[in-house]
Chains A and B, each alone.
Chain A
Amino acid sequence: MRAYKSQKIQVYTTLTILTLVVMFPIYYTFVMATLNSAQSYSYPPRFIPSSHLLENMKEAWRNAGMGRLMFNSAFSATIVAVAKICFSILAAFAFTYFGNFKGKYLFFGLILITHMLPLPVRLLPTYDMMKTFGWVNTYYALTVPFFASATGTLLFRQLFLTVPTSLADAARIDGAGPLRFLWHILVPLSKTNMGALFLIEFNYIWNEYLWPLIITTTKEMRVVQIGIKILLASEAQAADWNIIMAGTIMAMLPPLIMLLIFQKTFMEGFSMKEEK
């Protein structure tokens, strides 16, 4: 029993030290966001918060036009997450409940191939395509190219494969069409998966950087991540780190809050994703 206790203390100590180390950057970010301009340049650096958080937030909000940026990010992230869920649930349904229709494996392969083609591999032509569609600086460009999801399709396919066949049989005997079966039986069963996928994809789009960097050029269409870059660049002559960090905090809050609130859903979704 004593050995157990000392073991416990060891675990706690190690974890506490590690926590301090990995949390330090976040703590310092917060401290910086509370300083005024002179304090932010003081040397040695200050490690204790000051009282200017609100005015820095306001300044960053005004300077980078944060309101619009947050809206753009949240809007496109939501659209993409919802579309991905719909598209992949339909695709997964097609793969699991219609036997071996012609071209099934080709299509399955096509969906998997999206993994092999990350954006940089097709960056320039995709950009040119946006120009052909006249989509530069539009929400279409920020959302539509992301609609297909191999992750989602596989996730739902795995789930559907575990659904007892008796359910589908019953539905068929009752004369229910496939879409009704999907809507009334499968969709309710998929709620946890949908939640987890939503969080993952929302986070993914909120944090996307390269694509919005090249596809948006107007203030109206910029997203949060680019806002941070612009904030940094526009302070280039003499960086106001306090303002930049206030902006940074704003940009990282929404996904963070989501993660904290839905931590359990996240973990469940992930463990499903991983186990299969």
Chain B
Amino acid sequence: MKRLILVVLFMTVLSLIVPAKTTITLWHAMSGANLTALEAIVKDFNASQSEVEVVPVFTGTYAETLTKAIAAFRNNTHPHIVQVYEVGLQTMLDSGAIVPVFELAEPGFDWGDIVVPILNYYSVDGKLYSMPFNSSTAILYYNKDIFQKAGLDPNKPPTTFDEVFEYGKKIVESKAALGGIAFGWPAWVFEQMHALHAQFYANNENGRKAKASEVYFNKDFGVKVFSEWIRWAQSGVLVYGGREYNANNAFLAGQVAMLIQSTSSVGSIESKASFKVGTTFLPRIPGYPKGNSVIGGATLWVMKGKSKEEYKAVWEFLKFVAKPEVSQKWHKSTGYFPTSNSALKGLLDEGWFSVRPNHLTAFLQILSGINRPESQGVRLGNFVAIRDVVDSAFEKALQYKGPDIEKTAKAILDDAAKQCNQILKDYISLYGK
């Protein structure tokens, strides 16, 4: 009995001397190789100091993570940090549920080191609202072995829509693969196409000057892109592999030769593929002005309602994530952009890109594009719901088997636009212009 009392006493004293760790919860949507990479970063951070413990929780897809965080905020069970994809930007800004990182940061923190397109994307009036973490863009992956089998030059990937179609047909006809090309994130690729060809996706400069109230994707350009895709699908070149990352499976199993997907799959694809993987820029439609591909991926948002101490701990973690060496490690294992210029410079000096050229493609694409308002990325109210509508429209379009391709594309997009405009109208009625 005496012993027990002693033990209890000892423990009590111990707990007084050793400060309790501040626990920070991080909700994220990283899957596959990216999940492992994120957990490694968190582990490193936890090991690097003794005051803060970050607990990462995988909460499903991006959409699920965002909506769970919103629901959790309403009942006060929200995390400290939540990873929100670019689609959630407007929602988070209007939410009143966040602490902007520029307010959280210690004075004198060098924001200038962050890569400019990323900084721009998440800034409002020159102030950064969330911490850049995993930024990506879409690129074209292709299976060099299948190209060879089909009698194509494995070092000459397609650069235009027509070439994709032509190569794809060759691949299908020569039976080198079952299909030519598949997409991940179809609605996002559709947005990419608008930015790449300097076309607005919504009014008010893509919702960046004022809240968007009308989408533009059912105009000529959008109809053109959809028509091309329907044509590809009708001749078996485009094989739909599902929203988000599902299409990767068909690509990895060697059933399609090409894949339009986020750069964030470079890590997973390279580690799983049993064939030579090539990457290149997104295909273009000649005759339209040149824009740029758009930043996607996610940032880390800090949520309201926590203690001062906890915010200090949160900032420690965000600072850690922004470190060049962390950023480089993250890039190497996933394929996401390193977020700072110094990290990028380090990678170049190290010669990383000459060893792993597939990690470079996205950079070159962004650097060779022309930045203009059209390619700055879309900001829409309730974008989650809008993405959903466009994804469905894409899926409907691909099933069309008849000859009136343009007319059908237009009809499907008009119907989608009508739904989206309603969503925007509702959003504005709640939050004002």
Contacts and interface: CB of A to CB of B under 8 A. Distances in A.
Question: Do A and B touch (CB < 8 Å)?
Answer: yes
Interface of A: 37-38, 41, 43, 127-128, 130-131, 136-137, 214, 217-219, 229-230, 233-239
B254 A235 contact: no
Contacts of A136: 72, 75, 77
Contacts of A127: 71
Contacts of A130: 75
Pick from A136, A218, A235, A236 the residue with the most CB of B within 10 Å. Answer: A236
B160 interface: no
B244 interface: yes
B255 A234 contact: no
A214 B72 CA distance: 10
Contact of B57 (A219, A229, A235, A238): A219
B210 to A, nearest CB: 31
Interface residues of B, number: 32
Nearest to B61: A233
Interface stretch (B27-35, B45-53, B413-421): B27-35
B249 A238 contact: yes
Nearest to B274: A38
B244 A236 contact: yes
Interface string B18-49: 00000000010001111100000000000000
A236 B241 CA distance: 12
B288 interface: no
Given A217-B68, A236-B31, 6 more contacts: A128-B75, A230-B58, A234-B31, A236-B32, A238-B32, A238-B245
B297 to A, nearest CB: 14
A217 B77 contact: yes
A41 B252 contact: yes
Given A137-B77, A217-B57, A217-B77, A237 B72 contact: no
A229 B244 CA distance: 15
A153 B34 CA distance: 50
Contacts of B308: none
A262 B252 CA distance: 44
B268 interface: yes
Contacts of A38: 274
A41 B253 contact: yes
B35 A234 contact: yes
B59 interface: yes
B368 interface: no
Contacts of B31: 233-237
B341 interface: no
Nearest to A226: B60
A138 B248 CA distance: 37
Contacts of A235: 31-32
Contact of B60 (A230, A238, A239): A230
Nearest to A133: B75
22 contacts: A38-B274, A41-B252, A41-B272, A43-B253, A128-B74, A128-B75, A131-B77, A136-B75, A136-B77, A137-B77, A214-B71, A217-B57, A217-B59, A217-B68, A234-B31, A234-B32, A235-B31, A236-B246, A237-B33, A237-B269, A238-B245, A238-B269
A237 B248 contact: yes
A233 B246 CA distance: 10
A173 to B, nearest CB: 55
Contacts of B422: none
B254 A43 contact: yes
Contacts of B58: 230, 233-234
A218 B249 CA distance: 29
Interface of B: 27, 31-35, 57-61, 68, 71-72, 74-77, 244-246, 248-249, 252-255, 265, 268-269, 272, 274
Contacts of A237: 31-34, 245, 248, 265, 268-269
Interface centre among A127, A230, A234 (most CB of B within 10 A): A234
Contacts of B35: 234
Nearest to A237: B32
Contacts of B34: 237
A236 B245 contact: yes
Contacts of A131: 74-77
Most buried by A among B32, B252, B254, B255: B32
Q: Which residue among B35, B60, B246, B253 has the maximum number of chain A CB atoms within 10 Å of its CB?
A: B60
A43 B268 CA distance: 20
* Residue of B31, B58, B269 ringed by the most chain A CB atoms within 10 A: B31
A218 B27 CA distance: 9
CB-CB nearest 3 A-B residue pairs: A237-B32, A131-B75, A237-B268
A37 B57 CA distance: 25
B246 A43 contact: no
B272 A238 contact: yes
Nearest to A220: B57
A238 B68 contact: no
B145 to A, nearest CB: 14
Nearest to B29: A233
A183 B77 CA distance: 43
Nearest to A130: B75
A233 B245 CA distance: 10
A238 B266 CA distance: 11
Of the listed residues A38, A229, A239, the one surrounded by the most CB atoms of chain B closer than 10 A to its CB is A239
Contacts of B274: 38, 41
Q: Which of A38, A219, A233, A239 has the most CB of B within 10 A?
A: A233
A62 to B, nearest CB: 12
Contact of B72 (A43, A217, A229, A239): A217
Contacts of B72: 136, 217
A218 B32 contact: no
A236 B63 CA distance: 14
Contacts of B61: 233, 236
A128 B34 CA distance: 33
A239 B272 CA distance: 10
Nearest to A63: B35
B24 to A, nearest CB: 14
A101 to B, nearest CB: 39
A128 B77 CA distance: 12
B249 A239 contact: yes
B221 to A, nearest CB: 30
A237 B59 CA distance: 15
A108 B75 CA distance: 34
A43 B71 contact: no
Most A CB within 10 A of own CB, among B74, B249, B265: B249
B75 A238 contact: no
